Amino acid sequence: MRVSVLPSPTSKHVVVIGAGPAGLTAAYELSKHQVPSTVVEADPHYVGGIARTVEHHGYRFDIGGHRFFSKNQEIEDLWTEVLGEEMLTRGRLSRIYYRGKYFDYPLKAMNALRNLGLVETVRCMSSYAWARLRPVKNPHTLDDWVSNQFGRRLFNIFFKTYTEKVWGIPTTELSADWAAQRIKGLNMVEAIKGALFPKRASGRGEVIKTLIDRFRYPRLGPGQMWETVAAGLARQGHPVKLGWKVTGIRRQGPTVTSVLAVDQAGEEHELTGQEFVSTLPVRTLVELMDPPPPEEVLIAATRLGYRDFLSVTLMIDRGDLFPDNWIYIHEPGVKVGRLQNFKNWSPSMVPDQSKTCLGMEYFCFEGDGLWTMSDAELIELGKRELAQLGMCRPEEVFDGCVVRMPKAYPVYDDEYQEHLKVIRDWLETVPNLHLCGRNGMHKYNNQDHSMMTALLVARRIAGVSDLDPWNVNADAEYHEEVRDGEDKTGRRVPSRVAS
């Protein structure tokens, strides 16, 4: 083994595992407090994690779209500090595509019913009336709960297909609790009222907030933010080691002493430090511990679930396809769940303005049929589905590539909190190991929330704050339309029906 033992610094040395938004933010904040760090990242080419920007033959694209908008001014200021004028202000347009028509998102009753046409509208209203006359009593499934609120016909059009694409679970097996929380207080009557009286407030002061219609975005994609941070850290003597895959985390007594990693050449390294920051998936972190934690912790880790994701990116010989930043695909006859039009995020994402670069998002589980298809097969699937959706002809697609992202979404099933508590309770006995970020904390959060958890971790290590990163709220209210008074404790993920 080649051992990389770092010299004993005059202050703490921190090993940061993962160069996504959380890991790099932690290292960036530590540098401001003169605390040296080394970041290790398994990817040999890119930083940014799921917020990276991949480049293929001059075309740049996200792994999904990443809006830069936060209610936290400190995060907004940090983005400006890093990129300055390279941060663009962009208008937001996102819609639902169904049966060749575009529906406003969030749904607006009049727009939806107008697009559906008179006959389908009558059917939907009849279905709704039936649901009100004969509702499912004590609904236990998402299927029954939403059908009660909107009628089964509208449920099948606007809820069922997309929900099942994203989570890979039939709506008949998903708990009604999630729907009740996610769209609490909304039904057909309320939707129509909202369309007719969009600014109407109730006597209790309840109002519908407007959709955030503008956001910021780096000129060259979200990866530009993290590439800039990583380059700045390297210049200051805080290296970011790309292509270093962590293979073990050594402990002595209650504390972590070093991290083992293998580089691209197959050489093994051991990085020592006084403090350690992990953005690894919690399950992976537990499995890498040496010596291993107690059996109940290992079992709890294996029971944490994840939803995986892949992006088929196609370059198309046409300048304009649609004006949206992204489109939700509710067509049941195609597997794609969402389309990203990267030129509409920033013109600089494409080298030729007469071309278009589309990202086709597929939600899957690692090892399933989609995940194991070859890149060539996935590109052909993307071309067929674009043609099926009427977006372009297959022969207009002149290039493409595929990016797979395992563990993109930590799953909040019925038991995840119980399992996570077992792990957290044990981690409390490891005083120099700190968790932050989406997968690092098994929190289905946004980039800005991941960054805030990292800032708090770094400040704890630097001794300038003792705020708890686990208390950072992961709400998503500023992304979509919400009502004042709704629960804002966090983004919820559907869970299966309780047995």
Alpha helix (H) residue ranges in 255-302: 282-288, 295-302
Quick one: pLDDT band at residue 445, thresholds 50, 70, 90? confident
pLDDT at 163: 84
pLDDT at 448 over 60: yes
200 φ/ψ angles, rounded to the nearest 5 degrees = -70, 135
pLDDT at 495: 61
Whether omega for the bond prior to residue 21 falls within 30 degrees of 0, making it cis, is no
pLDDT at 91: 92
Mean pLDDT of 186-191: 56
pLDDT at 487: 40
Are 254 and 431 spatial neighbours (Cβ–Cβ below 8 Å)? yes
Mean pLDDT of 207-230: 84
Mean pLDDT of 224-243: 97
pLDDT at 336 over 90: yes
Quick one: pLDDT band at residue 177, thresholds 50, 70, 90? low
pLDDT at 228 over 80: yes
Quick one: pLDDT band at residue 95, thresholds 50, 70, 90? very high
pLDDT at 316: 98
222/229 Cα distance (integer angstroms): 12
Quick one: pLDDT band at residue 108, thresholds 50, 70, 90? confident
CATH label, 108-196, candidates 2.60.40, 1.10.287, 1.10.10, 1.10.3110: 1.10.3110
pLDDT at 350 over 80: yes
pLDDT at 212 over 70: no
The conformational region for residue 185 under phi > 0 = left, psi -120 to 50 = alpha, else beta, is left
CATH architecture assignment, domain 14-49+73-79+217-303+412-471: 3-Layer(bba) Sandwich (3.50)
pLDDT at 479: 42
Name the nearest CA neighbour of 78 among 34, 14, 37, 28.
28
The conformational region for residue 138 under phi > 0 = left, psi -120 to 50 = alpha, else beta, is left
- Alpha carbons within 13 angstroms on the beta-carbon side of residue 279 total 33
Quick one: pLDDT band at residue 192, thresholds 50, 70, 90? low
Mean pLDDT of 355-367: 95
What value does the mean pLDDT of the chain take? 87
pLDDT at 452 over 90: yes
Quick one: pLDDT band at residue 421, thresholds 50, 70, 90? very high
455-489 confidence digits (pLDDT tens): 999 999 999 999 999 988 754 444 444 444 444 43
302/419 Cα distance (integer angstroms): 9
pTM of the model: 0.86
pLDDT at 482: 42
pLDDT at 167: 80
pLDDT at 490 over 80: no
Query: Is the pLDDT higher at 333 or at 177?
Result: 333
Q: Which range (106-110, 118-122, 165-169) has the least confidence?
A: 106-110
pLDDT at 2: 47
pLDDT at 25: 98
pLDDT at 323 over 70: yes
Mean pLDDT of 442-465: 93
CATH 1.10.3110 in the chain is located at 108-196
CATH 3.50.50.60 in the chain is located at 14-49+73-79+217-303+412-471
Name the nearest CA neighbour of 60 among 337, 326, 345.
345
DSSP-derived 3-state class of residue 141: strand
Q: What is the 3-state secondary structure (H, E, C) of 6-73?
A: CCCCCCCCEEEECCCHHHHHHHHHHHHCCCCEEEEECCCCCCCHHHCEEEECCEEEECCCCCECCCCH
31-90 confidence digits (pLDDT tens): 999 999 999 999 999 999 999 999 999 999 999 889 999 889 999 999 999 999 999 999
Quick one: pLDDT band at residue 11, thresholds 50, 70, 90? low
Mean pLDDT of 280-291: 97
DSSP-derived 3-state class of residue 260: strand
